[in-house]
């Protein structure tokens, strides 16, 4: 098995991440139709609240260990310590499986108290939380296995497992929802319950696939390789759970921030609208579903792009830092990472903003598309800066700025909490999203400034490259916006089919325009620049 290059790993995770996110968004179309317009707001709000809670437990269950495992395995392998990599995998599979069992117990038997604390006392989430507790039995072990595979630079297989997981999850969700809502004429509550059970089914199939890949990975390393190398004088200290947690906790906190902020939104938004704005439960459900579930589902496609870059950066940088690679080499990699991040995420953000109304019509309903598209545009801005913040934070972890990264995380939380009430009262549904975006913008600036101070990334040449990317993105945005305006004069976007046609046409125009401009001004060369960069 040939190890992945940085470009290949980024592309594979990008593709798999996008496919996974597209699947997790596309299912909304039939899911919402089968739930029906009467109950769709309540069902979306309930599902969003439950999954925010589940994501928190999910991140605690994995405890940042997959990213830490990826980092440590890559570092040990770079020095020939293959035996340490095997110890890491076996030991932490046991440890984290036990953590999963404990969390599953808490979720199942403490669901009522979880609802009180994390869902503003909404007892509708109790049963779905119990269904989701079953997934906790396998998710931690799956996370360890993914980190192990990534650390060996077989990132494409780890990425493909995510696609398998999503396909299985979505297939069961749609089957269960159709059976309950259409064939049995049941309640949306039962459909939500079965939809949450789908996470366990998807995770199980992904785990089986990665176990098979692990067998193939072992075959790529010969018996002499997995023994401590005689050329390595220091084989490192014995691996301990406490040392791994110290390495993992910073990654945990980075991974947790969006989930915690979403939980903060779903509790404070309810309180603000009940106690200050005196809104009805239906209004709260509809508005929360709009920014907390529907728009959030769409922008996760953007977030998946950042995850793909971040997952590739961690082992690559870790190996370089461990080998004490020269400053110029690390500096060049950092510059490529910055340029590649902007090259991928910026046009994706602009493109989604340009077709926001049609996206809302396709995935939700046309009658909400005016307000919904505006919420989506603001959410895209939030997602873009969240992507930057997450990548920069992971770089800080690997380059030994853990303390500073934690300070920036804490400041992001504080800024969000300070702005939440005044912005929500004054801006309504846009308030929580705007508060989060401001927090990420400010902390991204400070994080990048620190990284640049150490590695001197910013120079005149990089500035020109980033400006060209920004200019290409703006031109693409304007062209697609004009094309969208003209197309809807001919093709009505009031129906889902019409909106899909408009999205396809505008999407092709956007890709063609951005690709042509990037080719002409040389921005496309970033793909060639990082093509031969090895993970280790």
What is the pLDDT averaged over residues 488-495? 87
Phi-psi region at 24: left, alpha or beta (left = phi > 0; alpha = psi -120 to 50)? alpha
CA angle 276, 279, 284 (to 5 degrees): 110
- The yes-or-no verdict on residue 94 having pLDDT over 50 is yes
Give pLDDT tens digits for 255-301: 678 778 888 888 888 889 888 888 888 888 888 888 887 788 778 77
Q: Model confidence over 145-165: pLDDT tens digits? A: 888 887 776 777 877 888 888
Whether the CB-CB separation of 117 and 274 falls below 8 Å is answered with: no
**Percent of the residues in the chain that have a pLDDT greater than 70, as a whole number:** 82
Residues in contact with 479: Cβ distance below 8 Å, sequence separation at least 6, in sequence order: 509, 510, 513
* Cβ within 8 Å of residue 176, ≥6 positions away: 191, 194, 195, 197, 198
Angstrom CA distances, 182 to 24, 142, 174, 457, stand at 21, 34, 11, 57
Q: Which residue has the higher pLDDT, 96 or 6?
A: 96
Whole-Å CA distances, 315 to 4, 74, 149, 282: 11, 6, 11, 47
The model's confidence at residue 469, banded by pLDDT at 50, 70 and 90, is: very high
pLDDT at 385 over 60: yes
Q: Which residue has the tokens 């990599």?
A: 85
Rounded to two decimals, the pTM is 0.71
pLDDT in tens, 323-340: 666 777 777 877 887 888
User: 349 and 264 in contact (C-beta within 8 Å)?
Assistant: no
Q: What is the pLDDT, as a whole number, of residue 248?
A: 64
Average pLDDT value for the chain? 81
Q: For residues 293 and 449, is the Cβ–Cβ distance under 8 A?
A: no
């Amino acid at each position: 098995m040939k190890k992945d290059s940085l470009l290949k790993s980024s592309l594979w995770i990008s593709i798999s991440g996008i496919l996974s996110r597209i699947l997790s968004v596309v299912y909304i179309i039939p899911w919402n139709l089968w739930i029906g317009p009467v109950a769709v707001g309540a069902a979306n709000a309930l599902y969003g609240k439950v999954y925010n809670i589940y994501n928190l437990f999910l991140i605690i269950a994995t405890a940042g260990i997959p990213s830490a495992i990826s980092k440590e395995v890559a570092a040990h392998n770079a020095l020939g310590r293959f035996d340490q990599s095997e110890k890491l995998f076996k030991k932490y599979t046991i440890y984290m499986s036990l953590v999963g069992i404990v969390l599953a117990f808490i979720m199942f038997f403490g669901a009522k108290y979880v609802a009180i604390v994390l869902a503003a006392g909404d007892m509708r989430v109790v049963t779905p939380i119990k269904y989701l507790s079953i997934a906790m039995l396998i998710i931690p072990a799956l996370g360890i296995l993914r980190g192990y595979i990534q650390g060996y630079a077989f990132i494409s297989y780890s990425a493909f497992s995510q696609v398998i997981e999503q396909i299985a999850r979505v297939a069961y969700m749609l089957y269960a929802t159709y059976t309950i809502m259409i064939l049995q004429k049941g309640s949306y509550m039962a459909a939500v319950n079965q939809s949450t059970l789908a996470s366990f089914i998807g995770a199980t199939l992904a785990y089986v696939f990665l176990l098979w890949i692990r067998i193939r990975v072992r075959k790529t390393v010969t018996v002499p390789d997995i023994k401590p190398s005689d050329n390595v004088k220091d084989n490192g200290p014995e691996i301990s759970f406490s040392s791994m947690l110290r390495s993992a906790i910073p990654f945990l906190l980075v991974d947790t921030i969006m989930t915690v902020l979403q939980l903060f939104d779903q509790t404070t938004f309810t309180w603000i609208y009940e106690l200050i704005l005196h809104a009805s439960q239906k209004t709260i459900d509809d508005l929360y579903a709009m920014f907390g579930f529907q728009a959030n589902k769409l922008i996760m496609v953007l977030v998946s792009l950042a995850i793909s870059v971040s997952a590739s950066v961690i082992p690559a940088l870790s190996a370089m830092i461990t080998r004490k690679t020269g400053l110029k080499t690390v500096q060049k990699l950092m510059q490529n990472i910055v340029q590649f991040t902007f090259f991928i995420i910026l046009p994706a953000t602009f493109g989604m903003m340009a077709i926001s109304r049609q996206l809302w019509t396709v995935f939700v309903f046309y009658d909400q598309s005016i307000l919904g598209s505006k919420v989506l545009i603001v959410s895209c801005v939030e997602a873009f800066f969240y992507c930057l913040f997450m990548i920069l934070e992971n770089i800080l972890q690997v380059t030994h700025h853990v303390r500073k990264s934690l300070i920036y995380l804490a400041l992001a939380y504080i800024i969000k909490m300070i702005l939440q009430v005044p912005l929500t009262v004054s801006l309504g549904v846009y308030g929580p999203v705007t508060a989060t975006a401001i927090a990420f913008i400010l902390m991204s600036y400070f994080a990048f400034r620190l990284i640049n101070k150490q590695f001197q990334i910013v120079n005149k040449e990089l500035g020109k490259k980033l400006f060209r990317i920004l200019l290409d993105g703006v031109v693409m945005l304007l062209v697609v916006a004009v094309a969208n305006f003209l197309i809807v004069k001919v093709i009505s976007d009031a129906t889902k089919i019409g909106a899909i046609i408009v999205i396809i046409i505008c999407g092709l125009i956007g890709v063609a325009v951005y690709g042509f401009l990037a080719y002409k001004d040389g921005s496309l060369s970033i793909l060639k620049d990082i093509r031969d960069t090895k993970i280790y």
